[in-house]
Chain A
Amino acid sequence: MAKKVLVVDDANFMRTIVKDTLLPNGFEIAGEATNGMEAVTMYMKLKPDLVTMDITMKVKDGLEAAREILAADPNARIVMVTALGQEKMLLDSIALGVRDFVVKPFTKERILSAVEKALQ
């Protein structure tokens, strides 16, 4: 059965790139969220197998959304996808329990590899 992915990013372009990478590789897109608040609500409703999560978003950022999702479901599989590749942000994300940290711009191979490894 295809693994379901929730794609979270405020940029339609970036959600499109992630979807265009995952769909031909056997994944199903469970839903799309444009900010952290939507992401938390949709995660609880859709129960996806994995979340790709942007960090810089209005309303609620991706780190806070990841914190809330992991508090509710410690087994949640989240891959951060962000333009901010700073060491503290990476360490904070790992401490939260996210599975991988992909820095934009990324290659299709990089995002695919991160998603596949996070689901193992």
Chain B
Amino acid sequence: MIKINAKHVNPFVEAAMRVVTQIAGIEVRRGHLSYKEKVEPSFGVSIIVGIYGFLTGQVVYSLDGKLAERMVDKMLDGKSPQEKKIMFLDCLGEVANMITGNAASLLNQRRDQILNITTPAIAAGTNLSVHLVPKPALVLGLITQYGPIEISIAVEEKETLQEMGMADDGLLSET
């Protein structure tokens, strides 16, 4: 049995709204929440960030190329088209890094532990396939005026794994 927890979602909503609005000036609204048996990015640009500590797993960000271009354009306002091209993937990775880092800070209310994240891995382009560890995920949709952002949260709580069977309102489970 694998368990994931709905309480992990809100920190990502809050962090994504804060980061995308501040860094790219793009408003973000919360969309639908769904459950998938394994992570399958829906759009052409995917950014993967690992989380490790008392939570472990992956967070996968997926967005359409047009939204990615618009976001980078705003992040690098005043830079030349050449500079924007060079820093395109770098900017998207940093957005994912900041959202995950901010969400990790909101998730970690413990004074004695650090919830770490990995550097982002980015896949962009046509005819690409992303191979991920086949784990169940909560899939959070975010809405912007330039298109959707999908965040697949596939993380497990170490304590939760040790305490399987304990009641928790926020737990989703798959057998």
Contact = CB atoms under 8 A, between A and B. Distances in A.
A89 B110 CA distance: 11
Given A13-B76, A104-B98, A105-B98, A86 B105 contact: yes
Interface string A57-95: 110000000000000000000000011111111011000
B112 interface: yes
Given A12-B86, A83-B102, A105-B19, A58 B119 contact: yes
B107 to A, nearest CB: 9
Interface residues of A, number: 22
A10 interface: yes
A56 B119 contact: yes
Interface in B1-54: 18-19, 22-23
A104 B100 CA distance: 11
Contacts of A104: 94, 97-98, 101
Interface string A1-45: 000000000111110100000000000000000000000000000
A13 B90 contact: yes
Given A84-B117, A86-B115, A11 B97 contact: yes
Contact of B116 (A10, A84, A103): A84
A52 to B, nearest CB: 15
B104 interface: yes
A67 to B, nearest CB: 15
A84 B87 contact: no
A13 B72 CA distance: 10
Given A103-B105, A105-B19, 12 more contacts: A10-B119, A11-B93, A11-B94, A12-B90, A13-B91, A16-B87, A56-B97, A84-B101, A86-B114, A88-B113, A92-B114, A104-B101
Interface of B: 18-19, 22-23, 75-76, 79, 86-87, 90-91, 93-94, 97-98, 100-102, 104-105, 108, 110-119
19 contacts: A11-B91, A11-B94, A12-B90, A13-B76, A13-B87, A56-B119, A83-B97, A83-B98, A83-B100, A83-B102, A84-B101, A86-B108, A87-B111, A88-B111, A92-B114, A104-B94, A105-B19, A105-B22, A105-B23
Interface of A: 10-14, 16, 56-58, 82-89, 91-92, 103-105
